[in-house]
A = this chain, B = another copy of it.
Amino acid sequence: MSEILVVGSLAYDSIKSPEGEVEKSLGGSANFFSIAASHYAPVRVVGVVGNDYTDADENVLKERKNIDVSGIQKIKDGKTFHWKGKYEGDLSEAITLQTELNVFEHFDPKLPENFKSSSHVFLANIDPVLQMHVLNQIQKPQLTAMDTMNFWIMSKVTDVKALLKKIDILFINEGEAKLLTEKANAISASEEILKMGPKAVLIKRGEYGVFVRTQDGMAVLPAYPISIVTDPTGAGDTFAGACFGYLCKAGKFDLHTLKKACVHGTAMASMTVEKFGMARLREATSGELTQRRAKLLEISTFSAE
């Protein structure tokens, strides 16, 4: 039996975009990832919330029969992580206005005993020291992946690089891949990243889709076309969730399988951006996901003669 352990944030996000704004809407990498991944495999969540985290929000993961929330700590005298940001113009970049770490500041991820045998591990974007701490608690992972961000690359690059030596797949934004490698484009950055340890790297390009690289080759998939993007927050975590969920179900991660996983991740991520927060992702049905994968393949299938 395969199952995914994910450690990441459970958060409240206050977001402004050209399409409107929301105050303290449910978010966080572990939330987006888990919902997406749960379409493919059982998910075990490790994270921390404060006393302001509502029962209704807790239920978003709990109500799904293949998500185990017993690794979520609730800190009685603390507040949930809160991110405030905005998007402008083409919405390609989040502008952070405020970050309140709150309960995340002293987060010590402790895994329930039965989580330690998880076959698949996803370390969402948190402090690389905590990512390593979680990874070290897993007995014998079959497949491991991580995400990271510019903040950690700039402040704790040694820890990020130590992790890269231990994990199989890196999920990373294009700008951050260039920052990490000091290369000018995804092609040369991905070459450099493979030298750092991972067997595969998935470079997330927002509205331009995803660039995949392994020792066996590369692949480029466009994003699913959405005319009006309301809120890109969580799209990358949603992509990673469906992608890694697909890999868990498939039981392998060769280039051919990774390409299929990216189609699943891309279709799922296109849901997330259509509404603020997790609203659209939560209501995604397998029928509409199948339709989106078909349309994505249609617009990206070419021939030369």
**What residues make up the interface of A, taking CB atoms closer than 8 Å to B?**
18, 89-91, 178, 184-188, 191, 205, 207-209, 217-222, 225-229, 259-260, 262-264, 293-294, 296-305
Contacts and interface: CB of A to CB of B under 8 A. Distances in A.
Contact of A225 (B205, B218, B229, B297): B218
Given A219-B299, A220-B300, A297-B303, 5 more contacts: A191-B227, A217-B299, A260-B303, A263-B304, A301-B301
In the assembly, how many copies of this chain are there?
Answer: 2
A186 B304 CA distance: 24
A13 to B, nearest CB: 21
B184 A89 contact: yes
Contacts of A264: 304
A263 B191 CA distance: 25
A221 to B, nearest CB: 6
Contacts of A184: 18, 89-91, 229
A271 to B, nearest CB: 16
A174 to B, nearest CB: 9
Closest 4 CB pairs of A and B: A220-B222, A208-B208, A293-B304, A188-B227
B187 A227 contact: yes
Nearest to A208: B208
A91 B90 CA distance: 20
Given A184-B229, A191-B227, A263 B218 contact: no
Contact of A300 (B186, B205, B300): B300
A294 B302 contact: no
A96 to B, nearest CB: 20
Given A90-B178, A205-B208, A208-B208, A229 B302 contact: no
Contact of A221 (B186, B207, B302): B302
A90 B187 CA distance: 12
